[in-house]
A = this chain, B = another copy of it.
Amino acid sequence: MEFSELFPVFSKLTKDQQDRLMAGVSKRTAPKGTLLHNGEADCLGLVLVAEGQLRAYLTSDEGRQITLYRLFPWDLCLFSASCSMRSIQFDIQLEAEKDTEFWLIPADLYQALSEDSLAVANHTNEILSARFTEVMWLMEQILWRRMDKRLAGFLLEEMALEDSPVLKITHDRIADHLGTAREVITRMLRYLQNEGMVKLSRGSITVTDEEKLRELNT
């Protein structure tokens, strides 16, 4: 998809601003599994997803992970450009969960446009607010929701994303999404299996009772 279609405020820019933007952006591809952005170690720029799926996550000093949110086509990731936003002082990692095509907007170019265009500045506000909402939701989950319910929610989300009840995902990987240890996930999956909600086999998890999983998730 073209950049101008994916960037919702493109039509609100002046011709000069549009030209500057188009001269700076570039289309990139990232095969599934690529680490696109690794915290403060690099300054990638803003990522506007055209195809595929990205995962934004945190990593602890000890290597534990937790998924903050996923990015899908039309989504713009600001935090991979935190180098040029002095008020943002935290680091995320960004990886391709599926083969992904995206437009890259250099951080400095976006920053200059924000200071120049009310439409871009307000668009940035919208995105920041939407991400903030997602992260606050996550914080409430972490603080106040039992892990079995969070796991049920995660499996249902994965089913929807993969459009299949068969999920090719390791216990380790689920632990990385939910910010816990593998052992915790393995124990809970066995519990879900005993309750007839999933069937575990080597390298995959099959949801066998979606209804019951939904009940647990409420």
Contact B143 A66 (CB under 8 A): yes
Q: Which residue of B lies closest to A139 (CB)?
A: B139
- B-contact 0/1 string along A106-136, CB 8 Å cutoff: 0000000011111001101111111111011
Helix, strand, loop or mixed for chain A's interface?
helix
- B-contact 0/1 string along A159-186, CB 8 Å cutoff: 0000000000000000000010000000
Q: How large is the interface on A (under 10, 10 to 19, 20 to 34, 35 or more residues)?
A: 35 or more
Contact A115 B118 (CB under 8 A): yes
Contact A121 B132 (CB under 8 A): no
Contact A125 B114 (CB under 8 A): yes
Contact B124 A60 (CB under 8 A): no
Of B87, B124, B127, B143, which contacts A130 at CB under 8 A?
A: B87
Distance A118 CA – B60 CA, assembled complex (angstroms):
37
Distance A90 CA – B130 CA, assembled complex (angstroms):
10
Distance A131 CA – B130 CA, assembled complex (angstroms):
14
A19 located at the interface, meaning its Cβ lies under 8 Å from any Cβ of chain B in the complex: no
Tell me how many chains of this kind the complex includes.
2
- With A129-B88, A132-B135 as contacts: A58 and B140 at CB distance below 8 Å: yes
A22 located at the interface, meaning its Cβ lies under 8 Å from any Cβ of chain B in the complex: no
- With A118-B118, A121-B118 as contacts: A87 and B144 at CB distance below 8 Å: no
A191 located at the interface, meaning its Cβ lies under 8 Å from any Cβ of chain B in the complex: no
Distance A184 CA – B58 CA, assembled complex (angstroms):
27
Interface residues of A in 140-157 (CB under 8 A from B): 140, 142-144
Neighbouring B residues of A125 by C-beta, 8 Å: 87, 114, 121, 124-125, 128
Distance A127 CA – B125 CA, assembled complex (angstroms):
10
The CB with the most chain B CB atoms within 10 A, among A66, A130, A136, is that of: A136
- With A142-B142, A179-B143 as contacts: A133 and B89 at CB distance below 8 Å: yes
Neighbouring B residues of A139 by C-beta, 8 Å: 58, 135, 138-139, 142
Of B64, B121, B129, which contacts A87 at CB under 8 A?
A: B129
Write the residues of chain A forming the contact surface with B, with a CB cutoff of 8 angstroms: 58, 60-62, 64, 66, 85, 87-90, 114-118, 121-122, 124-133, 135-140, 142-144, 179
